[in-house]
Amino acid sequence: MKRFLHVFGRILILSIFLAAAWLLYNRLKQYSFCQIRDAVAAISTWRIVAASLLTLLNYLILVGYDWFAVRWVGEKDLPLRKIALASFSGYAFSYNFGATLFGTSIRYRLYSAWGVSFRKILDLLVILGLTFWFGVFTLAGVVFIAVPFRVPEKLESLHLPFAETFWVGVALLAIAVGYVALGALAHKPLKLFGWQLPLPPLKLTLYQIAIACGDLLVGAAVLYVLLPSIDGGYMRVLGVFMLAFVVAVLTHVPGGYGVFDALIIHFLPEDDGAQVVAALLVFRVIYYWVPLLLASVMLGYHEFKLAGDTVDGGEQRE
């Protein structure tokens, strides 16, 4: 049964990726290479600088996820520089290749090398997931209720379970409020389908949600400063960004490639299509690929230094 579910999951992810790639291809074929190249060249230097600075701010905020999780599991002596390395590397690889394989394995490698027990690492990973998702539920709920938007007619053939985001927002916000209430009232883990769901105290829960909201607000701002003028402004871009980001994460397509891009392009106005595609390309470079390159160098240096320390320790013992 497990083998069947594993194979079925792989086939489902591949199917979603192919469907998204088909949607993306049908939109991209409307524009020539020269149109997209000129649109990329038209993005001003100040926009690229602003997007880069916002990306730096976003990854600094992401450190808060790990910092609170590490403190919650009781590893209060772990220095911030190590937490920052685990956070930055974990998210840089997760965003490009998927959290299930790369984000968790990188964090396990680093935290275990620093003496954190397997049980604490497992609890830490659960807290990181809860922080992200309930932050998403809170912010998406507020945005979808305050500024609802309809599913474009060209996507109606997908038979999505909603035609407008308002009631999706109501459902997500209700889940987030329920989680906060449990954190305030319950004093032990919640048992759900054989799993133990840790419930941090109310103060930590609110910190979690604040960090996650800040992360998503700044992430959307990175894309916003690269886009042409959009009707509805930042709030419109924020709503579409969150919808695309969440769907990309849920589908488990590595890096959200195809899925995230197709949704952004289809939900934003067609009149500026080439400029939207150009903004997405630059966004990928700044928000995904440059941090990945930096994280690869940092991890490589860490492993080299760790190997050297191991050799020196072995020689000293001899």
Q: How confident is the model at residue 152 (pLDDT cuts 50, 70, 90)?
A: low
What percentage of the chain has pLDDT greater than the value 90? 28
Is pLDDT above 90 for 103? no
Across the range 95-104, mean pLDDT stands at: 78
pLDDT for 316 = 44
Nearest Cα neighbor of 198 from 136, 132, 246, 129 is 129
> How many beta carbons lie within 10 A of that of residue 311, not counting itself?
10
Q: Give a yes or no: residue 182 inside a domain.
A: yes
Q: Give a yes or no: residue 19 inside a domain.
A: no
pLDDT for 317 = 40
Q: What's the number of domains the chain is made of?
A: 1
- Which residue has 């403190």 as its token pair? 71
d(CA 74, CA 232): 44
Identify the residue with better confidence: 64 or 159.
Answer: 64
Q: What is the pTM of this model?
A: 0.84
Q: Report the chain's mean pLDDT, rounded to a whole number.
A: 80
Q: Give a yes or no: residue 14 inside a domain.
A: no
pLDDT for 283 = 94
pLDDT for 294 = 95
Is pLDDT above 70 for 309? no
Is pLDDT above 70 for 8? no
Q: Give a yes or no: residue 124 inside a domain.
A: yes
Q: Residue 146 burial by CB count (10 A; 0-12/13-18/19+): exposed, middle or buried? A: exposed
Minimum mean pLDDT among 110-124, 134-148, 268-282: which range? Answer: 268-282
Q: Give a yes or no: residue 1 inside a domain.
A: no
Q: Sign (positive/negative) of CA torsion 257, 94, 287, 290?
A: negative
Q: How confident is the model at residue 161 (pLDDT cuts 50, 70, 90)?
A: low
**Which residues share a beta bridge with 197?**
190
The vertex-175 CA angle with 170 and 177, nearest 5°, equals 95
Boundaries of domain holding 234: 59-305
Q: Give a yes or no: residue 209 inside a domain.
A: yes
Q: Give a yes or no: residue 149 inside a domain.
A: yes
CA distances from 243 to 97, 253, 279 (A): 19, 15, 18
Q: Give a yes or no: residue 42 inside a domain.
A: no
